[in-house]
Structure 1
């Protein structure tokens, strides 16, 4: 299995590259690029959420508990005092961080059904629903954000599978075949549960038509330039040169400097 640093690095690089392509193709705003990047990194770490004692899992649950607590607090009435809002946030945080985490670690097994392809669809649809109903993003944005979670999740599974093959070592390890899987033969109940939950979440998700039309139409990437037509970074050079030439040179600029 790949290390946490490896998963973090690979998911960050892949998410950065994919989000940058969307920005260059005018298919995402800078705010959406940041959202997609974060979702891709989170997706790249999610498969190991069923590891009971690892530091990354504890950090991930702390992050999730913090976000959920803020969402609960934001849904409270404006007539609450600051102390009441803080207590609501604190109570929600402890419930998610400790009670839910304890229950989750008891019912899951490391490298079980959470570490599988159907789980990636479950988290894709769950992310889409949360962002749509709690943050009011557009339909195509929430679907793409969920897709970044899905893609990061799949990259994690593939990376673990490649490491288990040990191509430059002594051949496949015992863990080979346990990372990128579609079912857990030893736990059919959990397998059916994840498939069923993913199906229910998909039914509850908003219309995916805007997502498909925005990102998968024939003209979606028509304006994308992968490589520059002329010299590299000429636009960047001209931008800074024009700013330097138009910089004020009067007494006020001398005082500021």
Structure 2
């Protein structure tokens, strides 16, 4: 399978190209462009959350542990002494970083249900719903954020499948088919739960038709045609 740097660089490159495309088409603004590229890059690391020793899971739990400890301190800051707050900070961080992390890694198997298309679709749709209903972002931005996160994850799964092909002998490695999967019979209960959650999110998702109509609007793509390539003739005349 592809390594961490390959996933990171691949997701960043694809997200950057797609982000620049929709940005030049006038579909997102400056901050939207940066967020889309960032979310696409993050999405490219998400499928490896089920790997106990992967860089994304360690980094993610470190960040989550700091945030959790900070939240505890901020909640109790007015009621506890300095020494007690320091102890609470260390206890909160240790609980997340070691207890919760140990439980998470013991319950997940690498290339299990997390490393699947429906799981990534749930994360993408969940982010869309969070942005639209929770953060009250515009419809188009909400969909772009969710789609870029999902797209980055698909880059990850695609790279893993590509690396499962032995190009020298044109044969498939044992890992072929374990990356981009939609179902595994041995985890049928988990996949049933995934598809139930996915169906609920599809039902609750913001309307897609207006977003699709905006994407199909020819004025955006006419604008994109302007400046796609440098005007070499004008540059030579100068």
TM range (shorter): 0.7 to 0.9
Flag the 1:165–1:212 CA change in 2: closer, same or farther, 3 A: same
The aligned residue for residue 204 of structure 1 is 204
Quote the residue 2:232 is aligned against: 231
Aligned to 1:49: 49
Report the alpha carbon displacement of residue 209 of structure 1 after superposing the two structures with TM. Answer: 3.2
Query: How far off is 1:102 after superposition?
Result: 3.6
* 2:43 paired with 1:4: no
- Equivalenced residue count is 230
- Rounded to whole Å, the distance in 2 between the matches of 1:175 and 1:233 is 52
CA contact (8 A) 1:139 1:211 kept: yes
Measure, in 1, the Cα distance between the counterparts of 2:15 and 2:114: 21
Tell me by how many angstroms 1:114 deviates: 1.2
**Does the residue aligned with 2:123 lie in a helix, a strand or coil?**
helix
- Residue deviations 1:103-127, cap 9 Å, x none? 4323321101211111121111111
CA distance in 2, matches of 1:31, 1:50: 31
Aligned to 2:35: 35
Q: Check whether the contact 1:141–1:211 (CA below 8 A) recurs between aligned residues.
A: no
- 5 Å-filtered alignment, 1:156-195, equals 156-169=156-169, 171-195=171-195
1:116 matched to 2:140:
no
What value does the CA root-mean-square deviation take over the aligned residues?
3.4
Query: Of Structure 1 and Structure 2, which has the larger fraction of its residues in helix?
Result: 2
Does structure 1 retain, via aligned residues, the 8 Å contact 2:22–2:28? yes
How far the C-alpha of 1:133 sits from its partner, in A, is 4.0
- Quick one: structure 1 residues 94 and 170, their matched pair in 2 at CA, closer, same or farther if it must change by over 3 Å? same
- Contact persistence 2:166–2:172 (CA under 8 A): yes
> Aligned with 1:179: secondary structure?
coil
Is there any run of 5+ residues in structure 1 with no aligned partner, and where? 239-257
Which consecutive unaligned segments of at least 5 residues does structure 2 have? Answer: none
Q: Deviations over 1:53-104 (max 9, x none)?
A: 222321133345667888x79xx8xx99xx9x99999887666655554443
Counterpart contact for 1:44–1:152, Cα < 8 Å: yes
1:144–1:211 Cα contact (<8 Å) kept: no
Give, in whole Å, the separation in 1 of the partners of 2:184 and 2:37: 30
Structure 1 Cα separation of the partners of residues 55 and 108 of structure 2: 17
Aligned to 1:187, the other structure's residue is in SS state helix
SS of residue in 2 equivalent to 1:110 = coil
- Inter-partner Cα distance in structure 1 for 2:210 and 2:91: 38
**Residues 59-70 of structure 1 mapped to structure 2, 5 A cutoff:** 59-63=59-63
TM-score (norm 2): 0.80
